[in-house]
Amino acid sequence: MPSCGSAPGRKVRLMAHDLVCWKCGARLSELSLPLRRLDECPKCRAELHVCRMCVDYDTSVAKHCREPTADEVSDKTRANFCDHFKPRAAAYTPPNTAEVDKARAELERLFGKR
């Protein structure tokens, strides 16, 4: 596996990955793994070492985390120090604009357009 020395004595693994930003969906292939705590999306500047980007993030469980020993993180969109963090390739969920447009049209039908 190729590596490069970014600092004396520190090797960074360069590997192909298909990660995308959890917030805007931009490809993160230029970033090396493992992601550092303060890595940001080059497009939208969102922090990446966040719960929303983790494989254990799940809104249907307590604390929104499937890892039972993880400390609770209050802001799931801010960088944290969780040792269980593993980046999730499909972290981006595009907004459902069709559903929003349908709801807006129904509200306008009921209450009139403003």
Q: Is it the case that residue 7 has pLDDT exceeding 60?
A: no
pLDDT of residue 3: 42
> How many structural domains compose the chain?
1
pLDDT of residue 103: 86
pLDDT of residue 99: 81
Q: Which domain holds residue 30?
A: 1-114
Q: What is the mean pLDDT of residues 17-27?
A: 93
Greatest mean pLDDT among 1-15, 73-87, 99-113 lies in 73-87
What gap in Å lies between CA 111 and CA 106, rounded to an integer?
A: 9
